[in-house]
Amino acid sequence: MRRMIFLLVAVLGFEIASSQQPAPPIPIAESSPQATQPLSPMELRALASLDPIDAHTHVATGDPSFYAMLERLHMHILDILLVDDHDPYRKTLQQQLQDALRVVRESHGHAALCTSFDPFQFGQPDFAASAIRELDRNFADGAAAVKIWKNIGMELKDGNGHYVMPDNPAFEQIFKDIESHRRTLIVHAAEPDEAWLPPDHKGLDSSYYAENPIWYMYRHPEAPKKEQILAARDYLLQEHPRLRVVGAHLGSMEDSLAQLGEHLDRYPNFAVDTAARVPHLVVQPRHKVRAFILKYSVVSGASRVPVLLQFLLY
């Protein structure tokens, strides 16, 4: 079975956001990124017939209209937690976890939880043991996956001032625990190439790095290069062949489908999602992107069992 996981809502050009407001019309791309229009009733029925899955969402709160949308579109979502020390809400996991479990409960089967652990506890004597205890509680509550974020490799440092990489031995027991529970590890490692290149106002992600300079590695020459971070991620794949790993955002190989294809061929335990990287596919030659999608996309077939949850849970 091929292992490409595509985010249907990302392909359509929107991402579910936390809101108490009724869901807006779903936009669909036309001739340019700025040209959008609501999906027609026929298109919405076609979407619902796919039993679509958004494999990468961050939903803090839901309301009846949101859950009704999930039901109407036969949509399932993976609600992902992470620790971000630059975001007041995401500095700790406790409130995020409570909110996400509420969304899972109120969605009546349409949402699954992807939990996380606090990497900033790195260096504490009980770091791994404490993380494992919390993860095991989350697994008991139904968590399907665990995420590690880009701050591992791009921000987090050890006591000697060295950047902590995804393959650091301190994570070893945590990864083994995830594997033993037959859960999936979602890895956001590195960023698009642009994060390490000189400023270019025409860059696909230039506005993001202008607003979030902490992740613009060109301004942080002491930080690891992208190749180093991905090599650490690959070592993790190699050392844990039975651990299912999803590379978030096309595995940060969004500008090289050849490289991404080589990884999918080399590591049977590796899959990727497209979250927020569809523009990188749009600017590449259409025939190459089409051939890649046809080769690596997972198609559920007549049974229409949610293929993402199959990968995560089985």
8 A C-beta contact, residue 147 and residue 82: yes
For the stretch 104-163, pLDDT in tens is: 999 999 999 999 999 999 999 999 999 999 999 999 999 999 999 999 999 999 999 999
For the stretch 65-101, pLDDT in tens is: 999 999 999 999 999 999 999 999 999 999 999 999 9
For the chain, the domains span 8-313
pLDDT band of residue 38 (cuts 50, 70, 90) is confident
Give the pLDDT confidence score for residue 300 in this predicted structure. Answer: 31
Q: What is the DSSP string of 217-255?
A: GGG-TTSPPHHHHHHHHHHHHHH-TTSEEEEHHHHT-TT
Give the pLDDT confidence score for residue 36 in this predicted structure. Answer: 52
Report whether CATH 3.20.20 matches the domain 8-313.
Answer: yes
Task: Specify the residue for token string 């985010």.
Answer: 7
Task: Specify the residue for token string 């039975």.
Answer: 242
d(CA 245, CA 270): 5
What SS3 class is residue 184? strand
